[in-house]
């Protein structure tokens, strides 16, 4: 019994020790194809995320700017743009911040959590309506 309890401790410790920081591959909900790589990083005790790579078709602009953004990001390059901001740890989740979709320029309240070491669930809210994406570890 003690061995089982010890094993359970190490499994739970291993999950809690995993970090959301690093590079994550985002997947398009409609096509199921990779869209971008977002790097999640910590700054002043909060988590942020910036686009570091885009997966674009040969007929698409390879270095687009955000024409639909409605804030200070309007007209800025999407690569290098912060799209996740001010996320605070709350138990096993991060919340309290927001996520911006450069495709439509809209900002949503957000939370995210690790499903496992290689899977990040990212949920954006518009009121009580939400959409959850699955991002995959890209490191």
**pLDDT at res. 30:** 82
**pLDDT at res. 7:** 38
**pLDDT at res. 3:** 37
**pLDDT at res. 18:** 85
**pLDDT at res. 17:** 58
Mean pLDDT by 10 residues, the chain (139 residues): 38 59 93 95 98 96 95 96 98 97 95 97 95 93
d(CA 12, CA 60): 44
- Domains, the chain, in order of start with CATH, read 20-137 (2.40.128.520)
- Please state, in angstroms and as integers, the Cα–Cα distance from residue 64 to each residue in 76, 82, 107, 120, following that order: 8, 14, 19, 26
């Amino acid at each position: 019994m003690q061995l089982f309890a010890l094993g359970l401790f190490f499994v739970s410790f291993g999950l809690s020790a995993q970090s959301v920081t690093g590079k994550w591959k985002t997947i398009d909900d409609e096509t199921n194809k990779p869209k971008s790589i977002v790097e999640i990083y910590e700054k002043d005790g909060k988590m942020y995320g910036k686009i570091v790579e885009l997966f674009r078709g040969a007929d698409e602009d390879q270095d687009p700017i955000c024409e639909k953004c409605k804030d200070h990001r309007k007209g800025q390059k999407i690569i290098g743009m912060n799209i996740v901001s001010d996320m605070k740890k709350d138990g096993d989740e991060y919340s309290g911040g927001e996520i911006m979709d450069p495709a439509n320029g809209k900002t949503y309240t957000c939370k995210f959590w690790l499903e496992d070491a290689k899977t990040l669930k990212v949920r954006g809210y518009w009121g009580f309506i939400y959409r959850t994406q699955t991002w995959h570890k890209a490191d």
